[in-house]
Amino acid sequence: MSAQTAAPLTAAGIDRIIEESGAALSRRGRFVAAILSLALLLLVGAALLAADAVPVTGARSASVEDAAGAATVSSGAAESAGPVTARWDASPARLSWSDGAPARAESVFSGELGDAVDGGGERLLGLVNTGPGDGILRVTVEPAAAALDATALAGVALSWNVDGVRGSQPLSALMAEGTPHIAEIAVARGDEVQISMELTTLPGSERDVRAADPDTMVSFALDAEMRGAPTAESAASVPWWIPAAIALGLLLGLLVWGLVAVSRRSRHCRACGRDFDRRDRRMRVSETGRGSWMLCSDCFARGGRD
């Protein structure tokens, strides 16, 4: 590269003179890179926490008072002890779920076909939330095979009321569905939920149902699962992939910015043409109407500036 004559550094035209090191980035560039790197680390950490990829030591336990006044202790590390057996028209079953495992109750509802016609077959089952906080109760039923013809199956319905959530479906529809979910409700800590079920006759089907054997038994397996209700913190949590995507975009932007910044750095002295290396000190001179250029320290000194 041919050398060029150093232009005189007239005080009237020079806007500023900045001394730079031989590093790949200027002082301002290094400061911006440090800020972006810190933001990148924070975003990566947030993504790992949101994805539960960062181990958290310790276990949380809580105790609640059940209806009889005894304490039921649950731990976040506890495992489900298996379903409890709930009995109809008896004392309520206590569902002591924990943070790591839901609690389940099982029962069997049975009724005679004659109850669907004559009424009086309603039965009650109680469940108490004895977990460490508010919970969500999900109730499903699974019908057993019944010795009924298709007409009687279509004319008899199972009616239910789960703490105000009411519903009714013909036996034929319930058997076709398999294990239908009939209710899902929120239950405050310590509250009791009343579940009622009975067999009923659909309008216009009473004659067909009476023609069947009134002693025919109809049974349903009931499954109730209680788990913790979502907290305000978990409901407002950000999916892990959002901070991860932001961190990835920031990383790519940081790399592109660094490449552009390095490529725009002057690699040689404008006056003598000598290539700079990392140990050289250099001067960036800005002059009105002429732009800016880089000078090595020797050429800058010969130009009359110290």
Q: Measured at the alpha carbon of residue 267, what is the angle toward residues 265 and 268, in degrees to the nearest 5?
A: 135
Q: Per-residue pLDDT for 79 more than 70?
A: no
The single-letter DSSP state of residue 275 is B
Most confidently modeled range among 2-11, 87-96, 203-212, 260-269: 87-96
Round to whole Å and give the CA distance between 279 and 296: 11
Round to whole Å and give the CA distance between 214 and 42: 70
Residue extents of the structural domains in the chain? 1-24+266-306, 25-53+240-264, 72-232
Provide, for the chain, the percentages of residues in helix, strand and coil under a 3-state DSSP scheme, each rounded to the nearest 5.
25, 35, 40
| pLDDT tens for each residue of 25-40 | 556 666 666 777 777 6
Confidence at 87, pLDDT banded by 50, 70, 90: very high
DSSP codes of every residue in 58-120: ---EEEEE-TTS-EEEEETT-----PEEP-TTSSPEEE---SS--EEEEEEEEEEHHHHHH--
| pLDDT tens for each residue of 243-264 | 677 777 777 777 776 666 655 5
Q: What is the pLDDT of residue 91?
A: 93
Q: What is the pLDDT of residue 245?
A: 75
Return the CATH fold of 72-232: Jelly Rolls (2.60.120)
Round to whole Å and give the CA distance between 38 and 33: 9
Q: Per-residue pLDDT for 138 more than 80?
A: yes
Percent of residues, the chain, with pLDDT higher than 90: 23
Q: What is the pLDDT of residue 166?
A: 92
Top-confidence residue, 255 or 160: 160
The edge-to-edge listing of strands for the beta sheet with 84-85 is: 84-85, 103-112, 217-228, 135-143, 181-187
Q: In this structure, how many other beta carbons lie within 10 angstroms of the beta carbon of residue 107?
A: 23
| Termini Cα distance of the chain | 26
Percent of residues, the chain, with pLDDT higher than 70: 61
Round to whole Å and give the CA distance between 303 and 250: 43
Confidence at 187, pLDDT banded by 50, 70, 90: very high
- 3-class secondary structure, 196: strand
Token pair belonging to 85: 């057996």
Phi-psi region of 32 (alpha: psi -120 to 50; beta: other; left: phi over 0): alpha
